[in-house]
Amino acid sequence: MKQILLLLTTFLTLACNGQETKPDEFILTVSPIIEKTEKTNRKIIETLTEFLKTKNSSLTENKYWAQSDFQKFIYPYLDIYNIENSKFGKNFYLPTLVEIIPTEKSNRRIVKVAFIGHNNETKENQLKSIYNLVANITQDKVLFSRYLDFSTEEWKTFNTGSLTYKVSPNKTINETEIAEQQKDIDKICNFFRCKPMAITYYSCVSPKELFEIKGF
């Protein structure tokens, strides 16, 4: 993380100060450590650019995002919806592609995007967030998906009733707590005379781990 912040501080100082953008002009800054001429990287950059240009138009559909995510999460990229806006104005925080990270699967990459604003009055760069996406590559097509499934795919899974628990490797399943939660759900459903909804519960050891599995 320190290396990423050092890299951002170094090259974004030049990039932000050197850019003169029109109000509605979209710019995706790409880190110099990324090989932009490599075929897969080039396709990821092109698709990421189009996704970032269109993501704020709708929370429920985007042709550059995996359809299965909308069915599962409803609003899969809610965390970065309108993330560019601030008290300093619309599109204050501009996106920067920091890294494209290989995974064990050749058709999948981790894409790390930073949202950074430049304050013209103070001449300072302000980092709002660094966010991870998953790039899924099929032939010459790239579709993005949420980082959550990737980051928890090795977690233990425990099912009971309408509940699915994804448990951190650093945590032990508390079966007593799970049983109590199931009882509470049963009481609520009996009171309202309704069927229980399927719920996936991510059991983390800390708020830090929770934010990490979400992609931050």
- Are 169 and 190 contained in the same domain? yes
Question: Residue 161 domain-assigned?
Answer: yes
Which residues, 6 or more positions from 108, have their beta carbon under 8 angstroms from its beta carbon? Answer: 134, 135, 136, 137, 150
Question: Residue 151 domain-assigned?
Answer: no
- Are 93 and 114 contained in the same domain? yes
Q: Which residue has better confidence, 35 or 121? A: 35
Of 146, 175, 191, the position where a domain reaches its end is 146
Residue 2 CA to chain centroid, in angstroms? 20
Contact assessment for residue 145 and residue 69, using Cβ atoms and an 8 Å cutoff: yes
Question: Residue 102 domain-assigned?
Answer: yes
Structure tokens at 118: 């430049």
- Are 168 and 121 contained in the same domain? no
Q: How far apart are CA 28 and CA 48, in angstroms?
A: 9
Residue type, 30: V
Is the pLDDT score of 174 beyond 90? no
Q: Which domain holds residue 181?
A: 156-214
Question: Residue 160 domain-assigned?
Answer: yes
- Look at residue 18 in the predicted model and tell me its pLDDT: 47
In 3D, which of 29, 57, 60, 23 has the Cα closest to residue 45? Answer: 29
- Are 20 and 105 contained in the same domain? yes
- Are 133 and 177 contained in the same domain? no
pTM: 0.84
- Are 190 and 124 contained in the same domain? no
Question: Residue 197 domain-assigned?
Answer: yes
What is the number of domains present in the chain? 2
Q: How far apart are CA 110 and CA 147, in angstroms?
A: 8
- Residue 64 has φ and ψ, to the nearest 5°, of -100, 5
pLDDT (tens digit, 9 = 90+) per residue, 13-25? 545 544 445 556 7
Across 130-157, average pLDDT: 95
Is the pLDDT score of 176 beyond 80? yes
Question: Residue 202 domain-assigned?
Answer: yes
Sole residue written with tokens 């790039």: 135
User: What SS3 class is residue 28?
Assistant: coil
- Look at residue 112 in the predicted model and tell me its pLDDT: 98
- Are 120 and 184 contained in the same domain? no
Of 113, 146, 179, the position where a domain reaches its end is 146
- Are 169 and 111 contained in the same domain? no
Dmax (CA) for the chain in angstroms is 63
Question: Residue 139 domain-assigned?
Answer: yes
Of 89, 113, 146, the position where a domain reaches its end is 146
Percentage of the chain with pLDDT > 90? 68
- Are 74 and 160 contained in the same domain? no
- Are 18 and 91 contained in the same domain? yes
What DSSP designation does 205 have? S
Torsion of the alpha carbons at 178, 182, 188 and 193, rounded to the nearest 10: 160
- Are 100 and 38 contained in the same domain? yes
Residue 78 CB neighbour total at 10 angstroms: 12
Contact assessment for residue 114 and residue 127, using Cβ atoms and an 8 Å cutoff: yes
Q: Which range, of 20-24, 60-64, 93-97, 179-183, averages the lowest pLDDT?
A: 20-24
- Are 54 and 16 contained in the same domain? yes
